[in-house]
Structure 1
Amino acid sequence: MMEIPAEAELCFPRLGNTSCSKTQRPRPVAAYMLLSVISVITVTLNLLVIISISHFKQLRTPANLLLLSLATSDFLVGFLMLFQISLLGGCWFFGDLMCVVYYIVDHSVTSASIGSMVFISVDRYVAICDPLCYTIKVTKTRVDISVYLCWATSFVFHCMCSLDTLKQPGRFNTCVGECVIVVAYFVGITDLFVSFIGPITVILVLHMKVFAVVVSQARALRSCAGGVTLQGSATKRSELKAARTLGVVVVVFIACIMPYFCIVISGQDVLLNASSTTFIICLFYFNSCLNPLIYAIFYPWFRKSIKLIVTLQILKPDSWQANIK
């Protein structure tokens, strides 16, 4: 594996001793290339999801609008990875204020992503456990309001958590070129419950209830026979498949995000130096790359819409009315 030789260089040579030094350990080129590729794939795939749901009329359902919110947060995460890649060398070149903004935006986007998953879980729960009232309970207006509140609440919450740091950016840096945020234990625990334990608990409880219904409906499907039941059976299969897809998304998400929150609760004060926690933060980000890949595997409409987008069929008149499902 190719490596860049370690040299005792300063992040900002003109500042002399006040500047931080670049990392002293060898930095593999493969790490830069891998993270860059992941960032590009994350941005590209989630952009395809955004274009698909936004362009094609048939896909503008309340359930897909929630997927659009999730894809938007994942799309932004792909761009945020570029800042993380720059930190592999041990230097932050964007200033103290930008460091705090990066931290706030990063956590706000992630919280919005988790919130979107909660709403998606609620959507699947209503669709499977109370299908007769689904169109009444889950409307486009209610979904739009839920998404807006989710994003606004996430941003305001993390701004409040970082209020002291916003007043004096860089207060915890030991030299110029660091991006260090100190999260107080109380704030970290609050974030843990609001952004992780609470939402994940809701998601798991809903999934347990959905799983119970899935088992009973699966048994009912096996006993279905005759032309009268075929249409209803097809609808049930579609809903069950959507629930299974969400289950995969949730399991992958928990596996990727758990290491970060384990660090949050590991000490009295958590020092978040992005250059020293690269692996965990990138694992945190990698989930955003996996979500659209899961859609591509489980959702035929996504594969069909990708084909229309890549071949530029969406540029044709009335392409937004194309039959995708």
Structure 2
Amino acid sequence: MNLTKFNQSDRCEHFSCPEKSVSPAVYILLYVCSAAVVLLTVCGNLLVIISVLHFKQLHTPTNMLVLSLAVSDFFVGALVMPLMFIWVIESCWIFGRDFCICFWLTAFFLMVISIYNIALIAVDRFFALLNPFLYTNIVSMRTMCTVVYLNWCVNLVYSSVIFHYMNFLMCPGECYFILNEAWSVIDIIYSFIFPLSVIIILYTRVFLLAKKHATAIRELNNHTRPKTQKITSHSMKSERKAAKVLGILVSVFLMCLLPYIIYGFLGYVIELQLETFQKVTVLICLNSTINPFIYALFYPWFRRCIKLTITLQIFQTDSALINVLS
């Protein structure tokens, strides 16, 4: 996250917040659209959180990772996106030094948590496909909750440590940070290279395993009774669909993260405009908005949960036992 090379004193001497170049109507429209995106992010991820926590059928190890991702996305929408959108629209940081430091500490922590949540989902799906019986016996709800807890704790410690090595650019109206070269290398390896390598390698293996299982089940169907064919066919479709949805989730995440990574690497080679950093950071934030729509688009159970939540049926007695998967 070494953003760019700059001379702080020279920049602060020549920097001033630019005057607004848009009409009042466009200015208001930008704020309305930003508020709508924030609202969609917060409400969409809140629905995922409520669904997984409330309905007993959704209390599975994999869904604990989905819950962790939704919680991090929820906080991105509630704590990071409002400040980021105001900063972009105003073209000026108006919240002062203390809020600037808190903003980047929160954004940095949530970004790393999201990356490692996706990486853990990749690990979970890989082992579930590689050895389903061993996975069922070893990976329990208790085990997965411990993994999620450790993920948050470890990344909180890491974010707190690296925070002490951040140098903030505190010109009036600006809010940026840089890291020295040593910590920039450490951060790139820990925050990007390692988790992204895990995600890409394991999801490649996941799709190969899913394809292999689908072929095996198809061949088995040719030598079994119709009833068994129906069961195995359903299992095959469910398996392939799960791999497809999670693959889309990861692909969208990588597309949103890629400009940020490229920007970080280019910052070592050429001088880049700090203002461009706002745009690539906004793109990462938008991933938190997209994720709930992926669930809604591909998972019927999530659409049922939304309906039950919006109609307040979750407040009825024994609503947690409603069958949302069939």
TM bucket normalised to smaller: 0.7 to 0.9
RMSD: 2.5
Equivalent in the alignment of 1:196: 192
**SS state at 1:182 partner:** strand
Structure 2 SS opposite 1:277: helix
Q: CA deviation at 1:252?
A: 0.7
What is the one-letter code of the residue matched to 2:129? I
Q: Which amino acid letter does the alignment assign opposite residue 257 of structure 1? A: L
Identical positions, percent: 35
1:25 is displaced (CA, Å) by 5.0
- For 2:159 and 2:185, locate their aligned partners in 1 and report how far apart those are by CA, in whole Å: 13
TM-score w.r.t. the length of structure 1 is: 0.86
Deviations 1:54-96 (A, max 9, x none): 1111111111111000001111111210010221213333331
**Could you list the per-position Cα deviations for residues 111-154 of structure 1 after superposition, in whole angstroms to 9, with x for gaps in the alignment?**
11111111111111122121111212211122111111111121
User: Which amino acid is 2:151 matched to?
Assistant: C
Give the conservation status (yes or no) of the 8 Å contact 2:305–2:324: yes
User: Aligned to 2:180, which of 166, 180, 184?
Assistant: 184
Partner of 2:130: 129
1:42 and 1:207 map into 2 onto residues whose CA distance is 26
Query: Offset at 1:276?
Result: 4.8
- How far the C-alpha of 1:270 sits from its partner, in A, is 10
Q: Which residue does 1:95 correspond to in 2?
A: 96
Cα distance in 2 for residues equivalent to 1:47 and 1:271: 40
Aligned amino acid, residue 53 of structure 1: V
Aligned residues: 304
> Matches of 1:181 and 1:99 in 2, distance apart?
10
User: TM (normalized to structure 2)?
Assistant: 0.86
Deviation for aligned residue 1:273: 8.7
Of structures 1 and 2, the one scoring higher in RCO (CA 8 A, sep 6+) is 2
**Unpaired segments of 5 or more residues in structure 1?**
1-16
User: SS of 2:266's equivalent?
Assistant: coil
Please say which of residues 210-219 and 57-66 is displaced more in the overlay. Answer: 210-219
Residue 233 of structure 2 aligns with which residue? 233
Q: Distance in 2 between matches of 1:216 and 1:144?
A: 30
Distance 2:181 2:280 in 1: 19
The separation in 1 between residues aligned to 2:203 and 2:174, in whole angstroms, is 42
Q: Secondary structure at the match of 1:118?
A: helix
Q: Distance in 1 between matches of 2:161 and 2:268?
A: 20
**Corresponding position of 1:222:** 218
Q: Distance in 1 between matches of 2:322 and 2:294?
A: 23
Residue 283 of structure 2 aligns with which residue?
Answer: 283
Structure 1 segment 50-69 matched on structure 2, within 5 A: 50-69=49-68
1:181 alignment partner, SS class? strand
Matches within 5 A, 1:1-325: 21-24=16-19, 26-27=21-22, 28-29=26-27, 30-79=29-78, 80-88=80-88, 89-165=90-166, 172-175=169-172, 177-223=173-219, 224=221, 225-226=224-225, 227-268=227-268, 276-325=276-325
